[in-house]
Amino acid sequence: MVSNAKLRRWAIAFLLGLSLVIIGGELLIEKIAIFGFHDIVDVDNPQQKLPQRPEFAADYRIDQFEELLRELVERGYWFLSSQDLYNYYYKQPVDPLPIIYKTRPKVMITIDDGYRDAHLNVLPLLERLYRETGEKITVVWFVNSSFMGVPGTYLEHASCEELREGVMRGYYDIQSHGANHENLTLISDEDVDKEVRRSQQELRDCLAGLEGTETVANHLSYPFGAIDDNALEIVKTYHQSGYLYNTRSLRLTPFRNPHFIPRQTVNRNTSVGRLLRLAAGGWF
C-alpha cells in the first residue's frame, strides 16, 4: 500500500519536474519584442505639455525613447522593418536570415496613429543617432490614411509630406492602421473592406515614386488591437500580416500566425529598464 503522504510527495515532485520542463522550454524559445508606441512628446517644449496639450496614458517621452534606442544600438540590436519580420519569420517558406543579422538580437519599434509631435521629435533623433553611431534605425509607422495632416480632437497628425520625408531619409516604414481608426469587429463587411482597401491605397499614393516603397501598407495594425474571424477574412485579401496590441512578445515557435503578431504595449509609466528587459527576452 502506498501511503497518502507518499502519493502527495510524488505528485509534488511530478509537478515541480513539469514546471521545470515548461520553464526550461520557455527559456529556450527565442523571442522578439515588438514595441507599440503612440505619441512621443518633448516635455521641454511647452506646446507638448499641460496646459497646452492634454496628457494621455499612451504618451511616451522623447528623452526616454532616446535612452532606449541608444541602449539598443549599444547592445547591437537589429531594428526590423515590417517586411523583414514577415520575410524572415512568417513567409512560407521563410527567407534565410542574412549572415550579418543572424547573431544580432532583434527588436521592432512601431508607432501607431501617426501623430505629428511623434514625427517632429523622432525623425531628428533618428538622424542624430545615425550621425553618432552609424546605425540607421527603422521605425514602423502604422498610419490612419484619412487623418494624415488633419488636426485631431486633441492632437495633430503628421501629413503625407512629413511621412514622405522620413521615408526619403531612410528611417520610416509606413504601414496601415486603417483609414479612420474604426474597430474592424464592429462594422459591416463592406465597411471593413472600405477601411483597409482605402487606407492601403491612400498610403501607397502618398509615397508613390519614392525608392524602396514597394512594401508600403503591406501590413496592418488593427485599430484598438481588435480583430475577429469575419474581419480577418477581408484583411487577408489586402495585408500579408496583422499586428495586435496585447502585451506579449513574439515567440518564435512553429505555431506563429502572421495575422496575429503580438506587440508589447508601452505607456507613460513603462520604464526604459523594463523595455530593455523585454527586448532581451525577459517576462517582466
Enumerate binding residues for Zn ion (CB under 5 A).
112-113
For residue 181, what is its C-alpha cell? 481608426
Shortest approach of Zn ion to residue 281 CB, angstroms? 26
CB of 180 to Zn ion, least distance (A): 11
CB of 34 or CB of 129, closer to Zn ion: 34
Query: What would the DSSP string read from start to end of 211-250?
Result: TT-TTTTSEEE-GGG---HHHHHHHHTT-SEEE--SS-PE
Q: Which is nearer to Zn ion, 105 or 152 (CB)?
A: 152
Residue 147 or 172: the one with the smaller Cβ distance to Zn ion is 147
Beta bridge partners of 107: 33, 79
The C-alpha cell 522620413 sits at 166
- In the complex with Zn ion, the residue whose CB is nearer, 141 or 171, is 141
CB of 93 to Zn ion, least distance (A): 32
Angle ∠(124,264,273) on CA atoms, nearest 5: 70
Burial class (CB in 10 A: 0-12, 13-18, 19+), 254: exposed
Residue 59 CB, nearest distance to Zn ion (Å)? Answer: 13
User: Cell for 255?
Assistant: 505555431
Nearer to Zn ion, 72 or 122 (CB): 122
d(CA 192, CA 179): 10
For residues 133 and 247, which CB has a smaller minimum distance to Zn ion in the complex? 247
Question: Least distance from C-beta 239 to Zn ion, angstroms?
Answer: 16
Q: Smallest gap, in angstroms, from Cβ of residue 269 to Zn ion?
A: 19
In the bound complex, which residue of the shown chain has the CB atom lying closest to Zn ion? 112
